[in-house]
Amino acid sequence: MPAWFWLVPLASVLALGAAYFFFSQMMKESEGTETMARIAAHVRAGALAYLKQQYKVVGIVLASLTAIFCVLAYVLHMQNPWVPFAFLTGGLFSGLAGFIGMRTATFASARTANAARESLNHGLRVAFRSGAVMGLTVVGLGLLDIAVWFFVLTRFYSIDDAHHVVIVTTTMLTFGMGAAVQSLFARVGGGIFTKAADVGADLVGKIEAGIPEDDPRNPATIADNVGDNVGDVAGMGADLYESYVGVILASAALGAAAYFGAGAEVQLTAVVAPMVIGALGTLLSVVGVFFVRTREGASAQQLLASLGRGVNGSAVLIALLSLAVLSLMGVPNLWGVWTALVVGLLVGITIGRAAEHFTSQGYAPTQRIAGSSKTGPATVIISGLGEGMLSVAVPVAAVGIGTSLAYFAGSGWQFTTDTMNLGLYGIGMAAVGMLSTLGITLATDAYGPIADNAGGNAEMSGLPPEVRERTDALDALGNTTAATGKGFAIGSAALTGIALLASYIEEVKIGISHVLDRGNEFFFPDGSSVVPGSGDALQELGLMEMMARFEVVLVNPKVIVGMFTGAMLAFVFSGITMKAVGRAAGQMVDEVRRQFREIPGIMAGTSDPDYARCVEISTRAAQREMMVPSILAIAAPVLIGVLFGVPGVLGLLAGAAVTGFSLSMFMANAGGAWDNAKKYIEEGHHGGKGSAAHRAAVIGDTVGDPFKDTAGPGLNILVKLMSMEAIVVAGVTVAIHLV
């Protein structure tokens, strides 16, 4: 085991320790008045109740899939015996990351509001520390899972045998699938919950009754605040846990394939390198978070600047230090691998900047959308859809150029397919570079919903308006960092998606060798075959050769049908989740209207609305509506695999990745731009709050809610889940086509 590996568990323990430290620091703060504590307790209880329901559903799904994997592994011997367990830990840890983040956030909201009563400065510190708990928990648990499994598996497989290293790394990809299943339910269920409540509350409260957001007279307001926690916090935590673990494991697997014949030491170094970079970034994140924290007496302005310094400083430091560490580790193709890493960082920053350009009220696109509100809601929607569609140009170009450069650098400065595995390892390392400082970027991302909830708490507790203004300022800052964060998540998913195509082929090879081990000859679609005993010859087959034998070329109808299906799934999945939000929001509107009608004292403030009923509606809707899209996502790779084999599956993954990237970018940016176009008008442009333009912009914002927070992020996970799952069931796909 390379000595540098031990940095991984070390960073994990430090990150989790720091997270615990920040958590207990935050818990020492006061929750404020009795009303504030009571409201926070309501939200906390609602969030916990929902999450219990969600985990029940996910638990059943995870248990069923684990049972299936046990049958495949122990009864049919089609799969590696570690798969069921790896799958399960991925699912559990992903859920745990979301749960811890959510608990922290629900404890933090009243405390942030209370701190904001004192000063913006204090409010920011409490919110940011709570965000850091989530950021560091996600990376800490991720590295822990990786370190433990790598340690355990390398006890059972020889790290001197190149085949074994490949088996170890591809087995570990299985817990990526567990995490993906968990995060799918968390994102889709949480996304439906939060947007049903948000849209429903806005439609009746802001548009019909003319009361402000988070007004305690609005029956859906508690549900809305619960939604922020279960969707934006727990959902995002599970999602990014999966992304983080996914890119590191994919790169490790690519490293094992790329340096297959280069000797055990070189191969192992390439495998461990992405883990070590992750650990290094985590250590820098911990330092960065502490660095932000130390400026106790600074002004708000300075604190914001120092927050930026924390994030940017970590990025610059990882770029510099990683060169030193990779060099000390003796990574092969040092400059190439390092360049790929830096390219990944730059692509992430470019995508984030582009997202900011297309969604922030400081730039032309959002201002144009705001301007189009003068001619009513229809033109707001048309221009938002138009700007959103246009906004995919820069991210796709960045990913295209980044992919090419990383491939070029990774394959030793050439752009041919002779060194394809090396090039793909470069692409994987670019994805690792992009997510290396996730600990701190997620911290600056996760505190947004906390500030949002603090604002809700302040409003409902009747705190003076300046408190709400402060929490709004924190929330607005969070929107900008969130745009960058989303850019990193979507960009890394695209790069990982590309890289995982190669991992799939590696897993197919393992599946074929299982077939050979059982004494069967294996026939490729092109008519060639491998016979039992020729396992070594099989391993020698390059990626291009495997693609040729499986005929994974663009004119093969199996590939084409797979691609069309992948693209279609991206749209259908988004359509189902959009419809779910629309339907659930409609129920919410009916319920709120009913309460306004039947409970007479609500608008006068003399009687309380029935908050719990609204929470229940969102919970039931989320539970019911997350099943169909999840089953679709899980079933598709298996079905296509059975019908069209390896070429069909690769077509499916490529089609979904290619369409899903543009579609989710479009939805995320359109939604963000509508949100901020509304804020731009609220700042006093085009007539300001209450004008016809503002009413039109609120409609745009409402349409954007499920776009950016339900369908968009869900799509991202759909693509990753299908890739991970295809890899896990590759052996089965191969075995079935033998029959």
Tell me which residues in 150-209 interact with a second copy (CB under 8 A).
Answer: 199, 202-203, 207-208
CA distance 622 to 229: 14
Show contacts with a second copy in window 689-708 (CB under 8 A). Answer: 699, 702-703, 706-707
Show contacts with a second copy in window 587-626 (CB under 8 A). Answer: 589-590
- ∠ CA 411-414-416, nearest 5°, is 90
Among 391, 441, 471, 513, binds a second copy (CB under 8 A): 391
Binding mask 404-423 for a second copy (x = CB under 8 A): x--x-------xxxx-x--x
Closest approach, Cβ 278 to a second copy, in A, equals: 24
Q: Which is nearer to a second copy, 551 or 610 (CB)?
A: 551
From residue 731, alpha-carbon distances to 131, 147, 297, 646 in Å are 40, 25, 59, 10
Please give the DSSP secondary-structure letter assigned to residue 373: G
CA distance 33 to 464: 13
Contact 637, 507 (CB under 8 A): no
379 sits near a second copy (criterion: CB under 8 A): yes
Among 4, 175, 611, 666, binds a second copy (CB under 8 A): 666
Alpha-carbon dihedral angle through residues 183, 189, 191, 197, given to the nearest 10 degrees: -160
Closest approach, Cβ 155 to a second copy, in A, equals: 33
Q: For residue 234, count other CB atoms closer than 10 A to its CB.
A: 33
Binding mask 469-498 for a second copy (x = CB under 8 A): -------------------------x---x
Output the six-digit token pair for 320: 């510099």
Q: Which is nearer to a second copy, 2 or 376 (CB)?
A: 376
CA distance 453 to 459: 10
Q: Which is nearer to a second copy, 512 or 563 (CB)?
A: 563
Which helix (H) or strand (E) covers residue 529, if one does?
strand 529-530
672 sits near a second copy (criterion: CB under 8 A): no
Among 81, 212, 400, 601, binds a second copy (CB under 8 A): 400
Q: Which is nearer to a second copy, 135 or 566 (CB)?
A: 566
- Which of 80-88, 142-150, 301-309, 657-665 is the region at the interface with a second copy (rule: CB under 8 A)? 657-665
Contact 186, 575 (CB under 8 A): no
Show contacts with a second copy in window 203-262 (CB under 8 A). Answer: 203, 207-208
Closest approach, Cβ 246 to a second copy, in A, equals: 18
CA distance 103 to 558: 47
Closest approach, Cβ 504 to a second copy, in A, equals: 9
651 sits near a second copy (criterion: CB under 8 A): yes
From residue 232, alpha-carbon distances to 221, 274, 673 in Å are 16, 28, 18
CA distance 179 to 427: 22
Q: DSSP assignment of 614-669, as one string?
A: HHHHHHHHHHHHTHHHHHHHHHHHHHHHHHHHHHHHHHHHHHHHHHHHHHHHHHHH
Binding mask 506-525 for a second copy (x = CB under 8 A): -------------------x
Which residue type occupies 461?
S
Q: Which is nearer to a second copy, 57 or 389 (CB)?
A: 389
Q: Which is nearer to a second copy, 431 or 570 (CB)?
A: 570
Tokens 């707001």: give the residue: 380
Closest approach, Cβ 558 to a second copy, in A, equals: 8
Backbone φ and ψ of 480, nearest 5° = -65, -45
Binding mask 544-583 for a second copy (x = CB under 8 A): x--xx--xxxxxxxxxxx-xxxxxx-xxx-xxxxxxxxxx
Partnered with residue 523 across adjacent β-strands are 529
Among 118, 526, 540, 683, binds a second copy (CB under 8 A): 526
Among 130, 360, 403, 723, binds a second copy (CB under 8 A): 403
535 sits near a second copy (criterion: CB under 8 A): no
From residue 289, alpha-carbon distances to 126, 146, 316 in Å are 12, 23, 15
From residue 209, alpha-carbon distances to 270, 329, 466, 468, 512 in Å are 61, 64, 24, 21, 64
376 sits near a second copy (criterion: CB under 8 A): yes
Backbone φ and ψ of 522, nearest 5° = -115, 125
Please give the DSSP secondary-structure letter assigned to residue 688: -
Contact 688, 394 (CB under 8 A): no
Q: Which is nearer to a second copy, 548 or 736 (CB)?
A: 548
Among 661, 709, 725, 733, binds a second copy (CB under 8 A): 661
652 sits near a second copy (criterion: CB under 8 A): no
- Which of 128-136, 160-168, 338-346, 375-383 is the region at the interface with a second copy (rule: CB under 8 A)? 375-383
130 sits near a second copy (criterion: CB under 8 A): no
Q: Which is nearer to a second copy, 349 or 653 (CB)?
A: 653
